[in-house]
A and B are shown apart, each in its own frame.
Chain A
Amino acid sequence: MSASYFSDANLLRAKEILARYPRPKSAILPLAHLAQDQDGWLSCEAMMEISRLVGVTPAEVQGTTSFYTMFKREPCGRLLVSVCTNVSCLVTGGPEVLDHLRSRYASDADVTVEEVECLAACGGAPSMQVNYEYHERLTPESAESLVEEYRAGRRTPRTISGSKAAG
């Protein structure tokens, strides 16, 4: 039998997660988050392992996880920059932030820029998240310098699923 997809520490976490729920299938979402914490995306290997742990077919795991936009089905950059353009951000400059970051990082494999729906940060519109850390009241320039701070290591990013980086 092949070795587990999850690291030893994460396999322990996976078992803890499974024990929380009356039915194992409920663990699919949290286990998919755990896989992304580990690898930065949700690979086929991860889904196979989740299917074994949960006791359903791989197709069921893919069927569920592919419904949810937070699960990345191919590797993305180390930094995932999610810019809101829903209405409160739309009328306060969100699209300008998005356009600027998109062109700035168009050919930068380290940074993936995505347009997202309302982040529940409209009081500080326009807003974005970098690996699910909030940043508000942005201008195109301030947004870029924030991303640069992460790149330069002056800010520690969370994982691609938003957990504190494993210590």
Chain B
Amino acid sequence: MTEVLVVGAGPAGLAAALAARARGAAVTLLDAADELGGQYWRHLPPQRPAARERALHHGWARFERMRRELEADPGCEVLTSAQVWAIEPADDDGRVGADGRLIDGGDRAVAGAAARAALVVHVLVGPVDGADRVARSIRPDALVLATGAHDRTLPFPGWDLPGVFTAGAAQALAKGERVAVGERVVVAGAGPFLLPVAASLAATGARVVGVHEANRPGRLAAGWLPRPWALIGAVGKAGELAGYAWNHVRHRIPYRTGSAVVAAHGTDRVEAVTIASLDRDWRPIAGTERRVEADAVCVSHGFTPRLELPIAAGCAITSDRFVVVDAGQGTSVAGVYAAGEITGIGGVDAALAEGAVAGHVAAGGSPTDAEISREMRARRTTTDFAGRIEASHGIRSGWTAWLDDDTLVCRCEEVPYGRLRATGDATCSTGLRSLKLTTRAGLGICQGRICGRTVEHLLGGDGGFADGVSTDRRPIAAPVRLAELAGASAPNRPEGHLRKETP
């Protein structure tokens, strides 16, 4: 039986696990979080179940069905609080031929069968960042990566003040804990995601004083209908309550386009923001600045896919930095599939369709099989959606005009814009590795997850770097304690079934 490992239990991973089961594979589904659902279906914990959780989510019933089915299925092992921290080549990878087929796989060398993934996935299971999690190494036949994305927030003066959050943080706290990040909240950035965030905030008792989309109506209209609230439907619809809140949002909350938070003010916490109008390249227009009091600011300019695992697995990445996949969601590496936001920012419907295709093909199916024809069609329409998001909301270069010399670019190592530039100018370095080590930007504990793309843009423009280095490469995908590492399980025996071991 084919053994499929699915990493990430968001919409894409859930759909992949179900599809792989439907095709008869043994499945392990794991996620670093202790609940299934990923970013989209984040919900109150079992200690505090809500009678009307569905009101906050679109497709909640579908999620519950998927979860129930997987949890009840003895052929699917669901592993939560399971952090994948490394992926490495398996010892027997020498036996995979140039054509990607197994050369000498013993009884596994089935002629014509898809090649087995030659990788070992290292997992730590236990409380988040705990000191004595249990190590497991899994050597699947096929690996589906569905690790999703996180917010991309561009720096602006004051963005490091407490009270400035990513939009995703506001969403996570609202959905996961029913905590509103503030009472008077400004939401800003770019993309359709700002709208569900405003709706969730409103549904959690916060007053949203404005939603500011950086792009101007012309550009938005080119990608969307000129009615902003049409977008929320496109993102996969809010739940009934958020829909209700959205009604409120639509009538009561100013939605301003061509407008951005260009600074946050306060000494030890945010007290107010400066909002300015932007030109079509996101350059602030002089004279349009106005100050707005707020106790929380939620800013997001798009999403960055979580690429460390695909890169560790050796998957090819597109020039706009998503995982390259074929019609069956196969990556450039034999036996490795990718689905969801890591293959393009397309929202929940795309993630579900791609996940189902990936799971089906990983389990030995073909993208032309009738079982997944519906998903194959959905996959095509949703790629169009991803293109529209990028066309309407993609980041424009004028934003750097709102930086000043003291604005931190790298939050962890506290590298301000002025110093970043001065160091780059002084060394004349053309390599990203050297620029990171001389400026320290991106070397801190978040390992460039927050500032990486920004640093690349500020130091290299769009031309890239002479050393071809990217900030997305992180062979250690999450911090691991030295003692856990010292006890890491011994190299895997190449033969055999899914190896689930605790040393």
Are A and B associated in one complex? no
Residues of chain B whose beta carbon lies under 8 Å from any beta carbon of chain A: none
